[in-house]
Chains A and B, each alone.
Chain A
Amino acid sequence: MSGTDTTILIDEVPVPFRPGQTILDAALEGGVYIPHLCHHPEFEPHGSCKLCSVVVNGRNASACAMKAAPGQEVEVDTPDLHAYRRTLVQMLFVEGNHFCPGCEKSGDCQLQALAYDSEMMTPHFVEFYPRRPVDASHPDVLLDFNRCIQCELCVRASRDVDGKSVFALAGRGMASHIIVNSPSGKLGDTNFSVADKAAHVCPVGAILIKRVGFATPIGERRYDLEPISEEATRCAVGEFK
C-alpha cells in the first residue's frame, strides 16, 4: 500500500492531508493519535516537548513541525518510539516537582495523561527536586512553577492573543524558567486577568484559577473518563469537521 498526492501513510494506514498541514494535524483530523504536549491547535507549532517524535521515511522528525507531503511513510506506533516517549515524559517528571496527589490539575493534566498513556510506572531517573517558586500574589490566579514544562503556551497566548506579554521564558538549559513582566516579578503586579487566554491555556497545573477546588469529582475528570489518546483525537476530529 502506498500514499497518494493527498494521503500519507501512518503506520501503513493512509491518512488524508491538506496542503500546508503538519503531519500531526493531518493525523489528529484523521482520527490517528500521535502523542503531543506543547502543541495547541490555536497556536503555531512549538516543537519543544518532542513527545510527537516520529520516524518519517526512515528519518527522525517532530510530527507537529513537519509538513505532510506526498510519499511520506510515518511510523508512530513502534516499540522504540513508545520507549522514547515514555523516557521523555519521565524526564519532564524528574525535572520539576510533579506531585500529583496534591495538584488541582490532576485528572485534567496533559502531562499526567500522557504518562498514563505511555505506562510510566515510575519517573525512573534521579529526581532533581529543583527549588521553584509559587506565586500566589494575584487575586484570582495561582502560579506554581514546580509544574512548568516550558511549553511557552502562556507566553504565546499572553503576547499574541491577550496583547499583554505577561510571561517570558528566561535562562538557558536546566535553568530555563518562566518570568513575569513586572518590576517585582510577581503576577499580582501585572495587568493579568483571569479572563485572559493565558490563564486557561496551560496544559499542566502551573497556572491555576484560585478558589476552584475539586469542582469535578475524582472519577469524572476529563482523563478519568477516557485516555488522552482517545480524547485528543475525538476533539480534533470534531473540531476539524
Chain B
Amino acid sequence: MAAETDVVALVLRRRADPTQLLQILREAQEELGWISPETARALASTLGVPATHVESVVQFYSFLYDKPRGRYRILFSDNITDRMLGSLTLFEHMLKRLKLRQGEVSPDGAVSIDLTSCTGMCDQGPAALVNNRAVTRLTARRVDEMCDLVRAGVSISDWPSNYFRVEDNIRRADAILGSRYAPGSALRAAIALGRQGMLDEMKRSNLRGRGGAGFTTSVKWESCRNAPGAERYIVCNADEGEPGTFKDRVLLTSYADRVFEGMAIAGFVAGAARGLVYLRGEYRHLLEPLEAKLDAMRRDRLMGAGICGAQGFDFDVDIHLGAGAYICGEESALIESLEGKPGKPRIRPPFPVTVGYLGKPTVVDNVETLAQATEVALHGGRMFAGRGTKHSAGTKILSVSGDCSRPGLYEYPFGVRVEQVLKDCGASDVAAVQVSGPSGVCLTPDEFRRHIAFEDVPTAGAFMVFGMERDLFEVARNFAHFFAHESCGFCTPCRVGTALLRDALDKIAEGRGSRYEINELMRLAELLRRTSHCGLGQTAGNPVRDAWAKFRPAFERRLIRGEFDPAVDLDAALTRAREIAGRDDAAAHIGAEA
C-alpha cells in the first residue's frame, strides 16, 4: 500500500532508529495528514517497537493525530494576548463560515478548526497555525480569504505569502540584538582561549540560564565535562512554550549563527561533539532556514569537523521538532521527547548533566543562553559581568505583548525596572503585568518599580501587559485552562489538580461559584506547589493565587452571596429528561436555592 511504502522510506531515512520516532511521526503526519492504525503498525514493525509505543507517542502530542483532521488543519492560538486582540470572534466566525463545530472535521474531510496553546506570535496576533505553518495578524477579512482558499482547495504553498510573514519587531537592541556580528568571531575567540580558558571566562561572567530557571551556565558545562563517559551532548532548548514568550523565535530567525556558535562553544568546553536543537513544532517555518544556516556554516568550516581549522574541535547539530507539548520545555521531558517518547519529566536527581540524552551527560541550555555565551567568548567574563546586576549579569531579552503600542523585543541589561519597560513599550493605564508567563508572577502598579533580575523579578522573557479595562479573573482562567491542557498526566496532583482548578474557575465564570470554590482553589494551589513532579504542576496554581490576592473584586463580583452552590446547574441537568418526556411545566424545572 502506498502509505506503507512511504512510511517505511521515512523510517529508513532515519536509520530505523526508534529514538527518532517523534521526527518520523511528524514527517509521516505531514505527508499523510494523520497517523492511521495501519501507518502506526507499519512504523512499529519497521522500527521494531510495539504498536502501542507508537500509539502512546501519537496520543501524547497535540500535533499528531490518530484520527483524520482534514487536509487543512487550522489551529487558532489561544493565549490571553490573542483573545485581547479578538481571536475568539474570528474563531467563531471561521467556524460559522465553514459550518463546523470546534474540533470537528468537515464531511468532505477537507478542514478542521480548533484552538491551540500560545504559538509565540503574541506581538503580531491574533495568530493561527495552518498545517503547523504560522499565520499572523488575522483579521475578519483574512479569515474570509482563508475560508475561500480552503473551499477552493488551494494548496497552502500557494496561499499569499504575506499571511505567513513573521516580523522580528526588535524595539530595543543591546548586546545581542544590536551588535553587528561577524560569523565565526566567537568561535575563534573561544579557540584562542582554549577549553579551560573559555570555561574560566564563563565562570567570571556569572552567566545564568535565560530559559527561566537561571542556573549558572558554567556550573552546568563543567559538571557535564566532569561527568564520566566518552559521549556528551549539547541540547538547545528552543521549545519556548511559555505563553507570551517569543524572544527565542527572533534569535533563531535572525541571530541563528550566534546560537549555533554558542552550542559549538559549549561542546568545546564540555567535551561534546554532538548538538541537538529541540525546536517547538509551532516554529516549523524555521526548520528549513535553520538547516540552510547550518549548511552554510559547514561550508565555512564553522560547523562540522575541525571547526575554524582547530584540530579536534568537532561539533555538529541536528534539529528535532516538537509536536505541540509545553511540558517538553522542561529539560528532562525534552530529553524524553528527543528519545522518541512522550515528554514526561524524569525523576531528578540524576540531572541531565550526568544522565541525559540516551543516558549520556547532556547540557540543556536555552537559546538565549547560548547566544549570550558568544558574548562571553568575544568580550570576556569580566566585561560580561560588568553589566546587569550583582546576581544577574549581562542583558536580558524581553518579549513584550498585550496592551501596549509597541509590542516586540526589548533587550535590557538586567536590573531594568518594570516601569521602564512599560514606558518604552508605550503602555499606560496598566492594571497588571504578567512576567514570565502563567508560571511566573502577576505584578500590580505598586510593584512596577521592581527590577527584572533573578534576585527580584526573574523571567524567561515573557512580559504581558494588561490595561485597566482587562478582566484579570479571565486572565487567570485562561492560564488555568492552559495548564490543564498541557499537563503531561504523569503525577496525581497535577493531572487531576489542574483539571479541578480549571473546573472551579469555570464554575465561578458561570456565576455559580462561592467562597467554597475560593477555599478549594487555594488549597489545590498549595498541594500542587508542594507535591507536583515538575515545575508545571508546581506553578500551575500561581495565576489563581496572584489573581485572588491582587484582583479579589474581579472574583467577588462573580461569586454568589451564599456560601455554597451545587457543582452543576441542576436545571440544565434536567434538560435531557425534559426532552424525552416532552415536558416544560414548572415542576419540570428546578430553581437555584432561594
Contacts and interface: CB of A to CB of B under 8 A. Distances in A.
Establish whether A and B are touching in the complex (CB under 8 Å): yes
Interface of A: 45, 47-51, 53, 60, 62, 65, 67, 80, 84, 87-88, 91-92, 94-95, 125-126, 128, 150, 165, 167-176, 179-181, 183
A87 B530 CA distance: 12
B328 to A, nearest CB: 11
A48 B531 contact: no
B247 interface: no
B52 A50 contact: no
Contact of B533 (A47, A91, A169, A173): A47
B521 interface: no
A168 B53 contact: yes
B239 to A, nearest CB: 15
A16 B383 CA distance: 50
B59 A171 contact: yes
B594 interface: no
Interface in B436-491: 484-491
Interface string B483-524: 011111111110111111001000000000000000000010
B60 interface: yes
Contacts of B61: 172
Nearest to A149: B492
11 contacts: A45-B347, A47-B491, A67-B349, A84-B530, A92-B496, A126-B567, A128-B499, A150-B495, A168-B50, A172-B488, A179-B52
Contacts of A183: 37, 41, 51
Chain B residues touching A, majority SS: helix
A167 B81 CA distance: 41
A88 B493 contact: yes
Residue from B58, B61, B496, B497 having most chain A Cβ neighbours under 10 A? B496
Contacts of B531: 50, 53, 60, 84, 88
B56 A169 contact: yes
A174 B56 contact: no
Given A84-B527, A165-B50, A167-B52, A126 B503 contact: yes
Contacts of B144: none
B535 to A, nearest CB: 12
Nearest to B350: A67
Contacts, number: 111
Chain A residues touching B, majority SS: mixed
B325 interface: yes
Nearest to B499: A174
A168 B499 contact: no
Contacts of A179: 52, 55-56
B342 interface: yes
B51 A171 contact: no
B493 A171 contact: no
B489 A150 contact: yes
Contacts of A48: 490-492, 533
Contacts of B37: 183
A168 B60 CA distance: 12
B491 A50 contact: yes
Nearest to A182: B51
Contact of B56 (A53, A128, A170, A173): A170
Given A128-B499, A170-B60, A172-B325, 6 more contacts: A50-B533, A88-B527, A168-B52, A172-B487, A173-B484, A173-B489
Interface in B58-88: 58-62
B66 to A, nearest CB: 9
Contact of B523 (A87, A92, A180): A87
Contact of B50 (A53, A84, A174, A181): A181
Contacts of A60: 530-531
A91 B50 contact: no
Nearest to B346: A47
A38 to B, nearest CB: 9
A87 B527 contact: yes
A88 B55 CA distance: 28
Contacts of B484: 173-174
A126 B502 CA distance: 12
A128 B422 CA distance: 43
